[in-house]
Amino acid sequence: MTPPSLDDFRTLARERLPAGVFDYIDGGACDEITSRANRRDLDGIRLLPLCLRDVADLDLRTSLLGHSFGFPVGFSPTAFHRLVHESGEVSAARVAKALDIPMIVSSMSSVAMEDVARDSGNEHLWFQTYIFKDRALTKELIQRAEGSGYKAIVLTVGCPVTGRRYRNVRNRFALPADVVAANFARRNVVVHDNPIHSVGADLDPALTWSDVEWLRGQTALPVVLKGIMNPLDVPPALDLEVAALILSNHGGRQLDTTESTIRMLPEIAAAVGKRTGLLIDSGFRRGTDVLKAIALGADGVLLGRPVMWALAAGGERGVVDAVGLLVEELRIAMRIAGCRSIGEIRKNGSAVVRV
Amino acid sequence: MTPPSLDDFRTLARERLPAGVFDYIDGGACDEITSRANRRDLDGIRLLPLCLRDVADLDLRTSLLGHSFGFPVGFSPTAFHRLVHESGEVSAARVAKALDIPMIVSSMSSVAMEDVARDSGNEHLWFQTYIFKDRALTKELIQRAEGSGYKAIVLTVGCPVTGRRYRNVRNRFALPADVVAANFARRNVVVHDNPIHSVGADLDPALTWSDVEWLRGQTALPVVLKGIMNPLDVPPALDLEVAALILSNHGGRQLDTTESTIRMLPEIAAAVGKRTGLLIDSGFRRGTDVLKAIALGADGVLLGRPVMWALAAGGERGVVDAVGLLVEELRIAMRIAGCRSIGEIRKNGSAVVRV
Amino acid sequence: MTPPSLDDFRTLARERLPAGVFDYIDGGACDEITSRANRRDLDGIRLLPLCLRDVADLDLRTSLLGHSFGFPVGFSPTAFHRLVHESGEVSAARVAKALDIPMIVSSMSSVAMEDVARDSGNEHLWFQTYIFKDRALTKELIQRAEGSGYKAIVLTVGCPVTGRRYRNVRNRFALPADVVAANFARRNVVVHDNPIHSVGADLDPALTWSDVEWLRGQTALPVVLKGIMNPLDVPPALDLEVAALILSNHGGRQLDTTESTIRMLPEIAAAVGKRTGLLIDSGFRRGTDVLKAIALGADGVLLGRPVMWALAAGGERGVVDAVGLLVEELRIAMRIAGCRSIGEIRKNGSAVVRV
Amino acid sequence: MTPPSLDDFRTLARERLPAGVFDYIDGGACDEITSRANRRDLDGIRLLPLCLRDVADLDLRTSLLGHSFGFPVGFSPTAFHRLVHESGEVSAARVAKALDIPMIVSSMSSVAMEDVARDSGNEHLWFQTYIFKDRALTKELIQRAEGSGYKAIVLTVGCPVTGRRYRNVRNRFALPADVVAANFARRNVVVHDNPIHSVGADLDPALTWSDVEWLRGQTALPVVLKGIMNPLDVPPALDLEVAALILSNHGGRQLDTTESTIRMLPEIAAAVGKRTGLLIDSGFRRGTDVLKAIALGADGVLLGRPVMWALAAGGERGVVDAVGLLVEELRIAMRIAGCRSIGEIRKNGSAVVRV
Ligand SMILES: Cc1cc2nc3c(=O)[nH]c(=O)nc-3n(C[C@H](O)[C@H](O)[C@H](O)COP(=O)(O)O)c2cc1C
Ligand SMILES: Cc1cc2nc3c(=O)[nH]c(=O)nc-3n(C[C@H](O)[C@H](O)[C@H](O)COP(=O)(O)O)c2cc1C
Ligand SMILES: Cc1cc2nc3c(=O)[nH]c(=O)nc-3n(C[C@H](O)[C@H](O)[C@H](O)COP(=O)(O)O)c2cc1C
Ligand SMILES: Cc1cc2nc3c(=O)[nH]c(=O)nc-3n(C[C@H](O)[C@H](O)[C@H](O)COP(=O)(O)O)c2cc1C
């Protein structure tokens, strides 16, 4: 039986994965207040369905970065898929292709980005990276992404250092020997609370907006910024004409007590206006969550942990099922709420969703 | 001993019913946030009793659809009463007659509507239906209701598809072989998370307000709309001159995180004004809940699950007792609050109930 | 060891009393939402101490009904003290005398009012009564109270019927044979959820303000109204020139989901102004609770259940200890908050207490 | 392994200390509502990180009382360190010196103030005292502090009497024979709920602002007031030109239901303006707590219980580790929030912290 909800995939993953791996995926920073707030704040938003609107035919197609996808749902970058399934990032990339949704491949993938692209046959992948202290390495990663057909560069910001995740510290979590940061020459060996430290490629805390400008100059691909939370950071991003912003608190994994993304959405959406794309992640699990995000101004929603859970629970099939049930929940929510398309959710937003 | 409160009937029902049947009745959509919110929001409204108002004589009579009933309490349509008691819908219909309160018989009744009317001798039943894809079937149901003496047609809206109830999915709930949708030729066989799928009569997601107009044209009976939640849906309903609206989120069984009905009541009541009747359901369990609903603008309150619990706990007698104790609680609440009649609750409403 | 807080007396009482008796005392109406709200709302009010105000000498004397008492704390009327201690109401009356605080003796006392007055030697007792259907009986009770030296008549209003207390129903609680309503000729025999039903003296639900006027005409004693909750009931009470009002929801024992008294206090105090006295009860357990009540406009605070707990835990000594620790907590609270007298609490009220 | 968070030090302390000692440290007044509110209100404040601000180099130096310290974190005065570690106050004083942070030595120290100063070699200690009834004793303590090189006198106000801590009462807590109030001639012998009673030096409840003026006249050292909570107490403090205020509810140990300090901070900071220094304590445990306090107007944050926990868990090393991890959390918080220095936290405050 397909698990009936994304949380059931989490339960399955908990049963199947070593505790340390489960916790690495599940954990948030410090007291995990933001992790919980992401869910609680979504649950707290109430809906007012509209009835009798001829919702026989739904149109879930969504345009992101100028490309039309099947649904307003995609995959956030998550590191080291081989922690939970031997096929690594290839499975999720295949599902993204099959379902026609965006997937952001992490620079910390456990399969090299070229192999992810080739083995999945997915020609619409986006590549996530950081600007490392070593700019040559950064540039090389981008060029490899371009070369292997990735369609966008997603720059994760707001991580000048990595968050404190005490579950990892308590578990003395370390990557198993056969799971490596496959895009990097020097690979993981170190035991650490955050695997990013293990690739010999240091994050650069000195980054400023001009480094984003530099990055934009290195690539013909559209550049997306992932990790915007403060409305003050929207104008400089718009000035740099980035292709989209991803409103994200990294699933509560970076700075604990950071505001939930859904609560910031109306204000961020107002600051963005129609000037660039706006995606959101952190805590999205239900069809109604997706409806709420779009009603409040997002173009689409990304999933982080659920992809890992689904992979752990059932590999490629698991991910198909997980996305399938989320989309099915979204269809039901749209029909009951009286919205036939992404555009109508947006138009009816303030009537259907009350914050 | 009569159980002292409606929740005790629930406890009895839980003891007596197979888990799958209990859960089918009890469950709400998805995470059951709306199911719980219905109760919590009612509990959260505080009362300010008025004293010394000569409350010796109470008048609970209530006028609904131009007919005078004994109390401002009635039965929401609930499917398949034979799931919990062999007499099926006849028992509740007898109680409704005896207590002089409205009962809405579900189109998904497990006893044919003609038999419910005849065997109960209740001449003031209302018949609930959907507009099915098959309009001929829809028309036929209405004509049979008219023919067997039903006094109103209650059209359930806001269910273009049925909600996701994960308890049913987990329990692989299916109707037992001897419980059928007795109004339909082809009856249930399918195992499904929602029995409505089993009658071979598909709900029509393409419905619009003009279909309500069509329905009104098919019958001389007053038409009531059940399932209004959004104030934007009030004006079109008023334009169609429906006889009453039922503010309902279907007990939280359709779209999870839908707002509680009691929180929407003031706004919906303001939109309705005196132009048509207004009933409410979803979560009403206490005499004080009824008082609050009337104070905030409803003409009466309907019960869903409690009818099933009471039937399971004690058949016809159980339902008499359940309504009896609710009415007794209402009398106490009216006396302590200083309101002698439904009209006085309404008049004193804003003084006695603070939202 | 003296129990360190009033709640410890509750724990002791729970250990010592039969469950049915403990529940009779402890229980509230229906779901006991108001019982809990009384405490939670008091706990939720935050204090802002003022420092360096020379609080060496405190003056806790309080004027109530023109008489000066030792502390702004007294005893609410509670029925049947012999349920918890053989000496019945005499013990509490003795303590009230010793500590120089007001006590309201219930008409449902288990020792006749004359005996309470005589055996305790307390010459400042107040007598609580209802207006019964039988006005002659009502008048007789008042005359007996006058005759035995009571100093005020406290009329309990807001109880045209008695609340539903489901713990009593579940426990099939009945008064033991040797505990009787000693002021009445026909005494308890009936098993009932509320012992007031057992004295053959029915409450009169037909009461209006003119009956209060009648009562005032029957006695030279000051008349106090206990049970006011709604600001709309203040003006008629002022018109009748009652000697004081007691803001009370009867400890949440009458109508569940009634507002907590502390939340109504500012508004009721504003309506009362300086025109008559204002006492409050329902949920007061801490010295800070008393400080808050006075800061928000009450002249004093009354205790219901704690008296019964203390009697059960240690008889007369127990009640002395219980009041003693509450007063000690109040002294500490006054000193830390920087208020030297009841008058200063009132004057500094809005600076020290924030609602 | 260093415990990963301050709360883990608490867990270690609970394991190692006798229950009575642990409770003496941990407990708050009465129901400990303020103790919990201190934490909950801090946790409830949400952050909005700013990104891409070149946070490579951080400057945590902080100026307090005209002296530059390494970090905006110091030690609140806590009595009787020898309860948890044989070296007593010397260890914390050494750590304060090593880390270049302020420490306030309690007048109730278990090592004489002269020995704390000499054995730690810390030349920047501050001395906390009360104004005792015995002014000669008070003066003598101040002179000894001056004489042994202390750099400020911290006068604890808002404790005209000591709070009720029921854990101590229940545990019949008494100081062990070998832990004494080492600054006093007559030392503890009495069993009491609050050890301050045991030194034969009574607190003076008659204190007024003019006594603070008197104290200021006794010493050339800067005078700091610890325990301000009410904005009305700020102007008289400013009039006396005290060197700094410490916004403190004494960790919820004095008057229960006192407001949390973080909630009062904006208002107190507004009243203080730039006219004097402002420190805060009560409940600070996380790097983000420190960031929030500074963003909302404090110059620095003090730790009470964590020092005791760390001492119990690992002596001097424990305290180094505890402060180290808090500072490390603060660094991470500053980097992710985009603030490079204490000044920038202050400047960006209202953008990064939302109350
Ligand atoms: C196991 C795991 C690994 C992650 N790795 C990355 C990463 O390499 N790069 C990145 O930008 N975000 C990473 N994230 C954050 C996700 O992209 C995403 O923002 C977050 O998971 C969304 O919240 P959700 O998990 O609640 O859906 C990771 C998250 C998880 C759970
Ligand atoms: C077991 C069950 C069956 C139901 N069947 C129907 C139905 O056939 N048609 C309908 O309009 N509503 C149906 N409802 C919804 C009820 O009419 C009503 O809106 C809801 O139960 C009210 O909430 P309450 O159960 O909290 O009182 C059903 C509800 C339950 C619990
Ligand atoms: C056991 C018990 C008996 C009571 N009997 C009476 C009564 O006879 N008359 C009356 O006016 N109130 C009665 N009350 C209500 C109290 O006077 C008072 O309003 C209430 O107990 C205050 O709340 P508290 O118990 O939380 O302090 C009774 C309360 C209790 C607990
Ligand atoms: C065990 C202990 C002893 C204390 N002793 C004193 C003291 O002697 N003088 C004083 O002003 N405050 C004293 N305090 C209060 C602290 O200075 C400080 O205000 C409080 O602990 C801060 O809250 P926190 O413990 O939550 O960090 C003491 C606190 C504790 C926990």
Specify the CATH number for the domain of residue D153.
Answer: 3.20.20.70
Q: Which residues of D touch C53 (CB under 8 A)?
A: 208
Summary mean pLDDT of chain D? 94
Ligand 3 and C82: CB distance under 6 A: no
Q: Is residue C201 part of a domain?
A: yes
Give the count of domains, chain A: 1
pLDDT tens digit string along A117-166? 999 999 999 999 999 999 999 999 999 999 999 999 999 999 888 888 98
How far apart, in whole angstroms, are the C-alpha atoms of residue D200 and residue D183?
12
Reading chain C (355 residues) residue by residue, the pLDDT tens digits are 688 899 999 999 999 999 999 999 999 999 999 999 999 999 999 999 999 999 999 999 999 999 999 999 999 999 999 999 999 999 999 999 999 999 999 999 999 999 999 999 999 999 999 999 999 999 999 999 999 999 999 999 998 888 889 899 889 999 999 999 999 976 553 434 555 555 667 889 999 999 999 999 999 999 999 999 999 999 999 999 999 999 999 999 999 999 999 999 999 999 999 999 999 999 999 999 999 999 999 999 999 999 999 999 999 999 999 999 999 999 999 999 999 999 999 999 999 998 8
Residue B166's identity, in one-letter code, is Y
Q: What's residue C2's pLDDT?
A: 80
Q: Please state, in angstroms and as integers, the Cα–Cα distance from residue D198 to each residue in A60, D109, D155, D193, following that order.
A: 75, 13, 20, 10
pLDDT tens digit string along A197-216? 556 678 899 999 999 999 99
Q: Does the CB of B31 have a partner CB in chain A at under 8 Å? A: yes
| Phi and psi, residue C215, nearest 5° | -60, -45
Q: Is residue A209 part of a domain?
A: yes
Q: Is residue B32 part of a domain?
A: yes
Q: How far is D52 from chain A (nearest CA, A)?
A: 4
Q: Is residue A196 part of a domain?
A: yes
Contact A335 B205 (CB under 8 A): yes
Q: Please name the member of D158, D164, D206 whose beta carbon is closest to the beta carbon of C51.
A: D158
Q: Is residue A79 part of a domain?
A: yes
Beta strand residue intervals within D188-282, DSSP E: 223-228, 244-247, 277-280
How far apart, in whole angstroms, are the C-alpha atoms of residue A164 and residue A118?
35
Helical segments of A205-304, H only: 209-218, 234-239, 261-272, 287-295
pLDDT tens digit string along D298-311? 999 999 999 999 99
Residue D78's identity, in one-letter code, is T
Q: Which residues of D touch A209 (CB under 8 A)?
A: 52
Task: Yes or no: say if B16 and B311 are a contact pair by the CB < 8 Å rule.
Answer: no
How far apart, in whole angstroms, are the C-alpha atoms of residue A147 and residue A113?
10
Residue B225's identity, in one-letter code, is L
SS3 C195: helix
Strands of the sheet with D300-303, listed across from one edge: D73-75, D300-303, D277-280, D244-247, D223-228, D152-156, D126-129, D104-105
- What's the CA dihedral at A307, A309, A314, A316 to 10 degrees? 10
Task: Yes or no: say if C278 and C247 are a contact pair by the CB < 8 Å rule.
Answer: yes
Domain span at residue A241 reads 6-45+65-329
Interface test with C, best of B52, B286, B327, B352 (most C CBs within 10 A): B52
How far apart, in whole angstroms, are the C-alpha atoms of residue C183 and residue D194?
48
Residue D1 predicted with pLDDT over 80: no
Residue D191 predicted with pLDDT over 80: no
How far apart, in whole angstroms, are the C-alpha atoms of residue D198 and residue C176?
50
How far apart, in whole angstroms, are the C-alpha atoms of residue C45 and residue C266?
13
Kindly state the helix (H) or strand (E) to which residue A155 belongs, with its residue range.
strand A152-156
Contact D51 A228 (CB under 8 A): yes
Confidence at B161, pLDDT banded by 50, 70, 90: confident
DSSP string, B254-283: SSTTBPPHHHHHHHHHHHHTTSSEEEE-SS
Q: Per the structure block, which two tokens stand in for A19?
A: 């505790």
Q: What's residue A191's pLDDT?
A: 38
Residue B190 predicted with pLDDT over 50: no
HEC-encoded secondary structure of B283-336: CCCCHHHHHHHHHCCCCEEEECHHHHHHHHHHHHHHHHHHHHHHHHHHHHHHHH
Task: Yes or no: say if B241 and B19 are a contact pair by the CB < 8 Å rule.
Answer: no
Residue D173 CB coordination number (10 Å)? 21
Classify residue C57 by burial, with Cβ atoms within 10 Å: 0-12, 13-18, 19+.
Answer: exposed
Contact B47 C257 (CB under 8 A): yes
Residue C9 Cα to ligand 3 middle (Å): 17
Residues pairing with D132 in the sheet: D203
How far apart, in whole angstroms, are the C-alpha atoms of residue A45 and residue B258?
9
Number of H helices, E strands in chain B: 13, 12
Residue with tokens 């202050």, as numbered in its chain? D346
Distance of CA D58 to the CA centre of its chain: 25
SS3 A256: coil
Q: Is residue C177 part of a domain?
A: yes
How far apart, in whole angstroms, are the C-alpha atoms of residue D267 and residue D290?
18
Contact A335 B37 (CB under 8 A): no
Segment D259-279 shows an average pLDDT of 98
Task: Yes or no: say if B104 and B127 are a contact pair by the CB < 8 Å rule.
Answer: yes
Q: Per the structure block, which two tokens stand in for D262?
A: 């973080």
Ligand 4 and D276: CB distance under 6 A: no
Q: Is residue A52 part of a domain?
A: no
Q: Does the CB of A62 have a partner CB in chain D at under 8 Å? A: no
How far apart, in whole angstroms, are the C-alpha atoms of residue B250 and residue B28?
9
Q: Please name the member of A161, A170, A233 whose beta carbon is closest to the beta carbon of D332.
A: A161
How far apart, in whole angstroms, are the C-alpha atoms of residue B207 and residue B160?
8
Q: Residues near ligand 2 with C-beta < 6 Å?
A: B 25, 38, 76-79, 106, 108, 128, 156, 226, 248, 250-251, 253, 281-284, 303-305, 308
Residue B286: closest C-alpha in chain C: C30
Q: Is residue B344 part of a domain?
A: no
Q: Does the CB of A228 have a partner CB in chain D at under 8 Å? A: yes
| Phi and psi, residue C346, nearest 5° | -60, -45
Residue D315 Cα to ligand 4 middle (Å): 18
Residue D295 Cα to ligand 2 middle (Å): 52
How far apart, in whole angstroms, are the C-alpha atoms of residue D310 and residue A275?
52
Task: Yes or no: say if A309 and A9 are a contact pair by the CB < 8 Å rule.
Answer: yes
Q: Among A243, A303, A264, A285, which Cα is nearest to A95's?
A: A303
Kindly state the helix (H) or strand (E) to which residue B10 belongs, with its residue range.
helix B6-16
State the number of CA atoms in the 13 A half-sphere of C319 facing the CB.
Answer: 30
Q: How far is D334 from chain A (nearest CA, A)?
A: 10
ipTM reported for the complex, 2 dp = 0.95
Query: What count of residues does chain A have?
Result: 355
Summary mean pLDDT of chain A? 94
Q: Please give the radius of gyration of chain B, using alpha carbons only, rounded to the nearest integer.
A: 19
Q: Which residues of B touch C253 (CB under 8 A)?
A: none
Residue with tokens 């250092």, as numbered in its chain? A161
How far apart, in whole angstroms, are the C-alpha atoms of residue D61 and residue D99?
11
Query: Ligand 4: which residue has its CA nearest to atom 2?
Result: D78
SS3 D346: helix
Q: Does the CB of C354 have a partner CB in chain D at under 8 Å? A: yes
Q: What's residue A189's pLDDT?
A: 39
Q: Please name the member of B49, B55, B332 whose beta carbon is closest to the beta carbon of C230.
A: B49
pTM (2 d.p.): 0.96
Q: Per the structure block, which two tokens stand in for C250?
A: 């009867």
Task: Yes or no: say if C94 and C161 are a contact pair by the CB < 8 Å rule.
Answer: no
Segment B61-78 shows an average pLDDT of 98
Query: What count of residues does chain C have?
Result: 355
Helical segments of chain C, H only: 6-16, 19-26, 33-44, 89-99, 113-120, 135-147, 166-171, 209-218, 234-239, 261-272, 287-295, 305-337, 342-352
